[in-house]
Each structure stands twice: as structure tokens, then as C-alpha cells.
Amino acid sequence: IRRLKKLMALTSSSNANEASAALARAQKLADAHGITQDDIEILDINESICDYWPVGASNPPRYMACLLQVIRDAFGVDCILLGGCGVSFYGLYNRPELAAYTFEVLGRQLIKARKDFIKTQNKRIKTSTKTARGDKFAEGWIIAVLNKIEKLARTAHEVELAERWLEKKYTRTVTRNARESG
């Protein structure tokens, strides 16, 4: 498929003979292996799996869903939760790798800041109240991060490619809502 992609790139050559020869070879190769144009376009999508998932639940708390959304917007990628054990980021070029690394770093910082905040709460407060306050603190922490980043605009073609890649790679996906704080 990669060879076919290179041949397709040669079809836009300024040399007419080279372009027509590349197109003929590409069509012959595609017919021989049953490869469609869609398969070639999807090759531009890369995936990076981040094994870091600190909350251990299949439906994440709201602050973790917000962090994922911030990273998706910042890097122009999409993500999918992998059964409560990690996150898969997918998109064009090296963006998924950067998003996965950023998620791991910011996720660790967020969890540490949330735990430190909960420790500062009065010991006489119920645990559920401390947890709710910690969740709200985490949401505020993410808003502060959001104010410091620039969003990467994605084209409609990039979004469409990512959707087609997701349908092809993960045939059974389920949409889950984040649980509310508290």
C-alpha cells in the first residue's frame, strides 16, 4: 500500500510521461491487491496508544473527559478510550504521538494537583464532599490549561479521514458519558 501511495504521488508530476506511467502502474497494483482509493487515503492517519489511564473507570470523571477534549482541540486529533486501560489518539502526521505524550504528562500533573488540593481540606469534612471539591478543582485546573493553549484547526477532509479510519479500525465503538463531579 505504501508503494501504491508513492506511485499516486508521482501521478501529480510535471512530467506527463512519468505521471501517466505511474498512474498505470498504480492502477495495475491496486487491481492486483484489491486496494481502493479509500484505503490509500486512510494511510495518512496514525495512531498512538497511551497506556496511562489514572481513573480506572470505563466512564471517566468529567475532569478527565475535559482534559481529553482540551488535548483533542490542541493537537487536532481524536481519541477513543480502550476499555478503561488506556487512550488511543489518532490523526494526521505525528500529532497523535504528541497528544499521547501531553495527555500522560498533564494527566499526572492533574492527578497530583487534585490529590494535593484534597489534602488541604479540613479533616472533618465528609470524604464525598472532599472528592466533589477535588473534582471541581480539577475542572478549574483544566480551564487554566485551556486558557494557555492554542487550538489547531482541522479541515473537513481531515475530520472525514479520521472518521473513516475509526470505522475501519474499530468497528464496534460505544459512546460513554462522563460522570458528573461529586
DSSP output for 32-78: HHT--HHHHHHTTEEEEEE---TT--SS-BHHHHHHHHHHHHHHT-E
- The mean pLDDT value of the chain amounts to 84
Give the sheet arrangement for strand 45-50, strand by strand.
45-50, 87-92, 78-81
Percentage of the chain lying above the pLDDT 70 cut: 90
Convert the pLDDT of each residue in 60-93 to its tens digit: 889 999 999 999 999 999 998 887 688 999 998 8
> What is the reported pLDDT for 154?
76
177 or 55, higher pLDDT = 55
Domain assignments of the chain as residue spans, ordered by start:
2-42, 46-169
Predicted TM-score (pTM) of the model is 0.75
Contacts of 182 (CB under 8 A, 6+ apart): 128, 131, 132, 135
- Is-contact 74 63, C-beta < 8 A? no
pLDDT computed for residue 67 by the predictor:
94
pLDDT value at position 66? 92
